[in-house]
Amino acid sequence: MNTTDAPSTAGSLRRAGLALVRAVKAVVWWFNSILGGNDYARYVQHQRLHHPGCAIPTERDYWRERHAAADKNPANRCC
């Protein structure tokens, strides 16, 4: 291997590593979206924008109310 190959190999490995990191981040984002990881943040944003005078429940209370509502109306669930 001559010295001119080393930088291109390192550059290729770096690009492959960055592509792998992007792919892993995309998969994590996808799972987080499916499982509702961003729902509370969107709820808080909505409340502040459309209902600025209302109290915002804690995240724990939000999830408690959300699960209670799902239990009362199981037709909205897939299983």
Cα angle: 69, vertex 57, 51; to 5 degrees = 95
Break the chain into its structural domains and give their ranges. 1-35, 38-79
What sign results for the dihedral spanned by CA atoms 71, 73, 75, 77?
negative
Dump pLDDT digits (tens) for 25-65.
999 999 988 888 889 999 999 999 999 999 999 999 999 99
Structure tokens at 29: 């984002």
Global pTM exceeds 0.85: no
| Site of tokens 């209370």 | 61
